[in-house]
Structure 1
Amino acid sequence: MNGQVFSLDIGTRKVAGLLAFSRDGLVSVSDHRIVEHRSRAVRAGQIHDIEKTAAVVSEIKDGLEKSGGVKLTKAAAAIAGRNLRISRAWGETDLGSFREITAEDLGRTRLSAVQAALLEFREDTAGYYFAGHTLTGWRIDGEPVLNPLGHSARSLKAGVIATFLPRKVLESLFAVAKKTGLEISYLTLEPIAAVEAVLPSEMRGLPLVLVDIGAGTSDIAAVSGGSVDSFGMIPVAGDSITEFICGELLVDFAEGERIKKELASRTFSEGSSFSVPDLATALPYSDIFGRKYEKSAGELLEKVRPAVKNLAERISEEIFAGMPDGEAASGWRTEFAVVLAGGGSLTPCLQEELSVSLRLPRERIGIRPPALAGRFENLPRELAGPQGAVVLGLAGLALSSPEIAMVRVALNDSKLELLNFQGAEATVLSALISAGVSRRRIYGKPGLAKTFTLNGALKVIKGGFPKPTEALVNGEPSDLNRILKDGDRIAFTPALDGADAEGRIGDMFPEGPAAGICGFMLYNGEKRALPAEIFIDGRKASSGELITDLCRVEIRPGTALTAVLGTAGVDVEKLSVRGISVELEGTRVEKSAADFYLSLNGTRIESLPVLRSLEVKPGDSVEFRALTPSLKLGDLAAAPPPGRGVRIRVNGEAFDFPGGAGKVLVNGREAAPEEEVSDGAIIRLQPGRDAEAVLADVFRYISFEPKDTEGKRLKLLVNSREAGFATPLTEGAEVEVGFE
């Protein structure tokens, strides 16, 4: 970036904006703004509320534009280390001959290392965004060197650590920038920026661990041999102390933050990196009920101490976890020093607790503010302390790294921003990986082969080759190493994996009599050859079965009925015969139903053990078809008889009163003949009830003309005796109905 830069540090508690330019090798601060979030829009280093964060950024941007008379359209930004993932790799450039190394050679070699690190990333890149990288070292002709520029060599190597963050983290940052009319033109990580601000290059040969403690996260960078060796992060920082104070003293977050800052001011003297306690002075505060209290700084410090100890232990665990392996580890563990930066580094007693948890002398732990680095001028008081490390270091990186820029391309109509060297080093390959396209979708994978033995002889079925990816750049076919320019459009078609090897037993049969044909038979009326018997790993198998890797296949002549069915595609193991046992009128009845129809020479076979024991001879006829098995009530029990009816004569004409229909009860419930019966059912047959009739029932069958009944009395006789409507009617009764 040339001229003046706008660096932007979006923290958990506040946002810092800085305008700076380069003068005589120094970073000169021309203006700055620091605005605290009015609500917790950023938590643990991650933007949660885009609108509220954008409002704070806009306030800073507008203020800097107004005071400086400039229009800000681009910003350099740093990303918190939450959920940071890294990938280490080396890139190499063959210089062809023994010649002087140029700046262009450095750019090409550094990019090849970045691409190698991207390819080595061991997690699914779909959920991550390539966030940046840092150089870990140079080698010329295999020997390490701090700066290879101007040296002569035949080969040049660059080592990098590529960093990845969840896509949602970067996308939220870009969303804030877009809402404020800004474009992110330079991007790095907060620990990288902090290292740049507080550790000059000549100091990076020492074994140092920089811990940048913000409000939501503590970012860790291990430095040795002149470069950053590893990164770490814990989601515990200054806010954890504030929240502990809130719980202990029952105060709101703002009051807890004020108490924490008061304690810090009582335990540090201005400009000092060592604790200078002033613990006797009383510190007033109010709880959530408005009650006022006053306690000494020493008493409050004792209450906060457990939270400080926990923060120190968490930082120590992450430092030890990131130390180098091998012989260098023992020296590292006893010789390194810890440099603290960030506003959270002012936490009271933190240095003492780190000394205990890291087992380091107290003198090897301290705060190093940017003012000590000697590379910044016109430092405002608010940024001269450790809290200014990230925004100042970010400005320094943006001013001193003109070779790094953002190349904007379109990938399948989706916008993509890529890091680029010398404006011409981003490739189709790096664009795909940065967009979260997995290596498998880029290169494809050959199909897996299958190895097996056939009658003792080793056989191999090869897998298919992958179909390579297809890429078009601005409509023209391109390979993956094509260098991209700003505004290029990439159309990408993923590679297709080769098909895994597949073969069936039947594919192994040679043609002709050698196939083990032992004659012919009829299968469902069609003439077929009798198959040989097939075994996989000692068990019988069908010719249509797939060969598995490392299996043993044997083909023997045979005429088992199961083999005949297997050749026809019938899986005998899936055939079933359903059997049930019911109680019918107190008697146990066993029934069965098969899901297939099978006959051998006209004899039906319903037993699976019998099926497995039968052999087929030449000339036999086999019939097979699949069935839907069912056992219905009508198959087990006939309907019981109806009840006896009653026949009578009315005025000489015969009439019948039928008995009731019989019922079949299953488990006490009436059931229809077509209903399926379950195992264990109790079936009862209930005959129909005998018919019962009274004289009044007769009138449902007879009628009279109204003129015949007018003014007359009804006369009723049963078997010549006078009767009433309720008189019962028995078989053969003679009924007379008239009027007089």
Structure 2
Amino acid sequence: MIFALDVGTRKVAGLIGYFQDDILNVVDFDVVEHSTRSMLDGQIHDIKNVAKTIEIVRDRLERRNEIELKEVAVAVAGRFLKTVVVENEIEIPNKTIDEEIIRQLESGAVAKAPVSDETGTELHCVGYSVMEYRLDDFWIKNPAGHKGRKLYVRAVVALLPVQVVDAMISALHKAGLKPSFLTLEPMAALQISVPEDIRLLNIALIDVGAGTSDIAISKAGTIVGYDMVPMAGDEITEAIAQHYLLDFLTTEQVKRRIDKQETIEAVDVTGRKISIDRSSILDVVNPVVETISKSIAERIEKLNLGKPSVVFLVGGGAKLSVFRKKLSEALNLPEEYITLKTVENLNCVKSTKDNFIGSEYVTLAGIAYSSVSASGSIYDVVKINGEKVRLLKLGQTQTILQILTQKGFKLSELLGKPLPALVFELNGETRVIPGKIIGGKKIILNGSEAAFHQTVRNGDEIEILAKPEEEVYTPKILDFVKEINIEINGKDFMKIYPQVLVNGKLMEDLNYQILDGDKIVVKDINIDEIRKIVEEKIGYVSYTLNNETRSVKKMVLNLVNFVENDKEQRYIFEGRKVKIDDILHKQDKIFEIIFNGKTIKLKPKNDAVKVNGEYTSRDKELQDGMQIEQIYWQPIVADALAEIQLNIDEFKDYKIFLNGKPASFVDELKDGDEIKFEIIKKVQSNQP
């Protein structure tokens, strides 16, 4: 299905149709006037409003025909049109000339057109027409299928300022459309209304719109050139509006009735009803039409090097009979040689939709017709993933990125999605996680990997491959906090983390994804806190000691090493289970005793221990529920004798007195007690 738009100064017209047997079959069409004066002299000034008008036309056609329209053929006009004649010649030794060779020849010629004018304004090619081909220096109408040594072309190239083309493409994009074909309005009108078999005649075609009068001339079987006059129907409308004090829309309606009614009723801007007769309007209109006609005649005679044989008029502004009369006078041609071309009289157009009639639809039909044959195309043909596609050529060279965006690829899809840098604070220090690009496509140009900025030539092959998926790094608190590993007796016991505050609030989930601007505080844990955490993890054992219920940690720990790296802190403990001895009361009292007049000191010795009523070893492991009785050590006389290392075996008879009284070895001592040891008889020695 062909979708074409004629985006004019006053209105937007669109059609859908199909091409069969060299006939454009129009299925449906629609016309919508701009709500404001969004275009002047054929150039878009309000992109947003023009896009809205385009959307309305597209939506109506989609809704009525139950189709979706994404690509459109369009044409541009403009008051700053510049044309140049270019030439090119290529060698083709013993090779049959095909479409690819012809396109290469024509593209080489178009590439010689200037990229800017004398003021430095950047220019874009909006179309070209071949003036002549020569094969081995002989003129030939169509070189396709022939053989020769060299092929020559001369063509006329139409150029417009970059702003004109960009505005049209921007309006289409805002309306959700992509340009599938773009040409110059008079090229499209000439293509459909001046077929090749009559281009031998010297014909001037004038497309009179609202803002511009576009000119195209054929002679001797070729296109001589293109030009334009920045005056057309709007100048006539404005003259009527100013004379009769009418608003623009009312004036348009009055203008369209000039050739149909002798008297026209209207309401001026004051609200007063007025009656205007035809002769009065013609008095207002004639000077304006005469000025426009003289300007058109001057341009035609300059471009054609004389007056033409015939003039074809198309466009809504050409309908006034006075226009044909004044143009006849300006060109000094009989009025019968100036004819109005209407779309219903074109042999190559058929419409199944009623009312597709009039001169105003010729250019629209020409745009659709030209898009099929790519006549005067400013497109390159390349292959994208094996499929031949036609791409709008903006400027002399195009990059891979420009081509792919024309085809609807999004920049984020091609280049990848940029992730912004992440900035946060960690313990008062600013940390930055740099941004990066994720996703995107890998480009293969003619079999080799290429960059997006590389230029593309006609016939190139582009392959688009997805890049391998890349894991997106999302920073978490855990990435910036060292884990604390506790090792006991050579085995990992537990893992803990320091306390973390995020923006002043305690954050227990260390997998929290850090956000831009977060302020993070990590509170270090000292060894005492770590020891306490570990002991609480190990747990406690409960017991009674001398009828007093108590509890104590299950293990005795000793820190033997500490290791730290970028990822962790490791505390290495040696530990043993707590013993009964660890929980017994420790005595440090020293008893002073007087022995035979000399003071001696008795240091404490181990107490006796009973567990559940039975004596047991102090080295026994402490267990839950033990009933422990600690029997405190009390010195006796024998301890004093042992302290002075008195050997009783050396004495046959002796007496012991404690504080002046007879005593035995097992009598208990108190601090300050006095012991007297009397030797009665020693054991006799058998040695001589």
Please state which band the TM-score falls in when normalised by the shorter chain.
0.5 to 0.7
- Look up the equivalent residue of 1:136 and give its one-letter code: M
User: Partners in 1 of 2:284 and 2:99 — Cα distance?
Assistant: 56
Q: 1:167 to 1:193 in 2, by over 3 A?
A: same
- Name the structure 2 match of 1:431: 398
Q: 1:254 to 1:476 in 2, by over 3 A?
A: closer
In the alignment, structure 1 residue 62 sits paired with structure 2 residue 59: yes
- Name the structure 1 match of 2:357: 384
Q: Contact between 1:234 and 1:315, CA under 8 Å: does it hold in 2?
A: yes
- Name the structure 1 match of 2:665: none
Identity rate, percent: 29
Q: 1:355 to 1:426 in 2, by over 3 A?
A: closer
- Name the structure 1 match of 2:428: none
Match of 1:96 among 93, 98, 107: 93
User: Partners in 2 of 1:48 and 1:117 — Cα distance?
Assistant: 27
- 5+ long unaligned stretches in structure 2: 403-447, 466-688
Report the Cα offset of residue 423 of structure 1. 5.9
User: Partners in 1 of 2:394 and 2:174 — Cα distance?
Assistant: 29
Report the Cα offset of residue 481 of structure 1. 7.3
In the alignment, structure 1 residue 364 sits paired with structure 2 residue 337: yes
- Look up the equivalent residue of 1:197 and give its one-letter code: I
- Name the structure 2 match of 1:105: 101
- Look up the equivalent residue of 1:207 and give its one-letter code: N
Q: Contact between 1:107 and 1:422, CA under 8 Å: does it hold in 2?
A: no
User: Partners in 1 of 2:379 and 2:449 — Cα distance?
Assistant: 18
Q: Contact between 2:117 and 2:123, CA under 8 Å: does it hold in 1?
A: no
Report the Cα offset of residue 363 of structure 1. 2.0
- Name the structure 2 match of 1:474: 450
- Look up the equivalent residue of 1:52 and give its one-letter code: N
Q: 1:169 to 1:421 in 2, by over 3 A?
A: farther
In the alignment, structure 1 residue 290 sits paired with structure 2 residue 263: no
User: Partners in 2 of 1:313 and 1:193 — Cα distance?
Assistant: 24
Q: 1:11 to 1:487 in 2, by over 3 A?
A: farther
Report the Cα offset of residue 250 of structure 1. 1.7
User: Partners in 2 of 1:52 and 1:223 — Cα distance?
Assistant: 36
Q: 1:239 to 1:186 in 2, by over 3 A?
A: same
Q: Contact between 2:182 and 2:392, CA under 8 Å: does it hold in 1?
A: no
Q: Contact between 1:408 and 1:486, CA under 8 Å: does it hold in 2?
A: no
- Name the structure 1 match of 2:299: 318
Report the Cα offset of residue 425 of structure 1. 12
User: Partners in 2 of 1:189 and 1:51 — Cα distance?
Assistant: 22
Q: Contact between 1:371 and 1:379, CA under 8 Å: does it hold in 2?
A: no
User: Partners in 1 of 2:252 and 2:455 — Cα distance?
Assistant: 56
User: Partners in 2 of 1:298 and 1:78 — Cα distance?
Assistant: 37
Q: Contact between 2:158 and 2:226, CA under 8 Å: does it hold in 1?
A: no
Report the Cα offset of residue 298 of structure 1. 2.3
- Look up the equivalent residue of 1:159 and give its one-letter code: R
Q: 1:475 to 1:253 in 2, by over 3 A?
A: closer
Match of 1:226 among 197, 218, 221: 221
CA offset digits 1:399-439 (Å, max 9, x no partner): 12299575699xxxxxxxxxx9986998996338x99xxxx
Q: Contact between 2:96 and 2:145, CA under 8 Å: does it hold in 1?
A: yes
Q: How does 1:33-182 map onto structure 2 within 5 Å?
A: 33-97=30-94, 99-118=95-114, 123=118, 127-182=122-177
User: Partners in 1 of 2:369 and 2:153 — Cα distance?
Assistant: 22
Report the Cα offset of residue 480 of structure 1. 9.5
Q: 1:210 to 1:487 in 2, by over 3 A?
A: farther
In the alignment, structure 1 residue 249 sits paired with structure 2 residue 222: no
User: Partners in 1 of 2:222 and 2:458 — Cα distance?
Assistant: 31
Q: 1:186 to 1:486 in 2, by over 3 A?
A: farther
Q: How does 1:722-737 map onto structure 2 within 5 Å?
A: none
Q: 1:150 to 1:124 in 2, by over 3 A?
A: farther
- Look up the equivalent residue of 1:364 and give its one-letter code: Y
User: Partners in 1 of 2:83 and 2:463 — Cα distance?
Assistant: 29
Q: How does 1:520-559 map onto structure 2 within 5 Å?
A: none
- Look up the equivalent residue of 1:134 and give its one-letter code: S
Q: Contact between 1:403 and 1:423, CA under 8 Å: does it hold in 2?
A: no
Report the Cα offset of residue 340 of structure 1. 0.5
Aligned-residue RMSD, C-alpha: 3.3
More strand by share: 2
Q: 1:242 to 1:204 in 2, by over 3 A?
A: same
CA offset digits 1:467-487 (Å, max 9, x no partner): xxxxx9924998997965568
User: Partners in 1 of 2:460 and 2:78 — Cα distance?
Assistant: 29
Report the Cα offset of residue 304 of structure 1. 1.6
Match of 1:188 among 173, 183, 191: 183
User: Partners in 2 of 1:408 and 1:48 — Cα distance?
Assistant: 31
- Look up the equivalent residue of 1:35 and give its one-letter code: V
Match of 1:397 among 370, 392, 400: 370
Q: Contact between 2:179 and 2:392, CA under 8 Å: does it hold in 1?
A: no
- Look up the equivalent residue of 2:47 and give its one-letter code: I
Q: Contact between 1:61 and 1:72, CA under 8 Å: does it hold in 2?
A: yes
SS in 1 for 2:158: strand
In the alignment, structure 1 residue 214 sits paired with structure 2 residue 214: no
Structure 1, 127-136 or 398-407: larger mean CA deviation: 398-407
- Look up the equivalent residue of 1:186 and give its one-letter code: F
In the alignment, structure 1 residue 336 sits paired with structure 2 residue 270: no
SS in 1 for 2:253: helix
SS in 1 for 2:398: helix
Q: Contact between 2:72 and 2:179, CA under 8 Å: does it hold in 1?
A: yes
- Name the structure 1 match of 2:10: 13
Report the Cα offset of residue 131 of structure 1. 2.1
Q: 1:238 to 1:64 in 2, by over 3 A?
A: same
Report the Cα offset of residue 365 of structure 1. 1.1
User: Partners in 1 of 2:79 and 2:357 — Cα distance?
Assistant: 26
TM-score (norm 2): 0.56
Q: 1:347 to 1:152 in 2, by over 3 A?
A: same
Larger gyration radius, structure 1 or structure 2: 2
In the alignment, structure 1 residue 203 sits paired with structure 2 residue 170: no
CA offset digits 1:351-402 (Å, max 9, x no partner): 1111111112222211112332200111645442110011100100111229
- 5+ long unaligned stretches in structure 1: 267-280, 324-328, 410-419, 436-471, 490-740
Match of 1:373 among 341, 346, 371: 346
SS in 2 for 1:116: coil
- Look up the equivalent residue of 2:337 and give its one-letter code: R
- Look up the equivalent residue of 2:358 and give its one-letter code: G
- Name the structure 2 match of 1:595: none
- Look up the equivalent residue of 2:78 and give its one-letter code: G
Match of 2:290 among 299, 309, 312: 309
- Name the structure 1 match of 2:254: 259
User: Partners in 1 of 2:246 and 2:182 — Cα distance?
Assistant: 38
Q: 1:405 to 1:299 in 2, by over 3 A?
A: closer
Report the Cα offset of residue 296 of structure 1. 2.3
- Look up the equivalent residue of 1:31 and give its one-letter code: D
- Name the structure 1 match of 2:531: none
CA offset digits 1:54-76 (Å, max 9, x no partner): 11111111111112221111011
- Name the structure 1 match of 2:322: 349
Q: Contact between 1:13 and 1:36, CA under 8 Å: does it hold in 2?
A: yes
User: Partners in 2 of 1:225 and 1:421 — Cα distance?
Assistant: 35
User: Partners in 2 of 1:474 and 1:42 — Cα distance?
Assistant: 41
SS in 1 for 2:128: strand
CA offset digits 1:35-63 (Å, max 9, x no partner): 11111111111111111111111111111
CA offset digits 1:578-598 (Å, max 9, x no partner): xxxxxxxxxxxxxxxxxxxxx
Q: Contact between 1:127 and 1:167, CA under 8 Å: does it hold in 2?
A: yes
- Look up the equivalent residue of 1:308 and give its one-letter code: V
CA offset digits 1:78-128 (Å, max 9, x no partner): 00132011221112121113x542222211111111112347x65466522
Report the Cα offset of residue 142 of structure 1. 1.6
Q: Contact between 1:428 and 1:482, CA under 8 Å: does it hold in 2?
A: no
Structure 1, 422-431 or 161-170: larger mean CA deviation: 422-431
User: Partners in 1 of 2:454 and 2:56 — Cα distance?
Assistant: 45
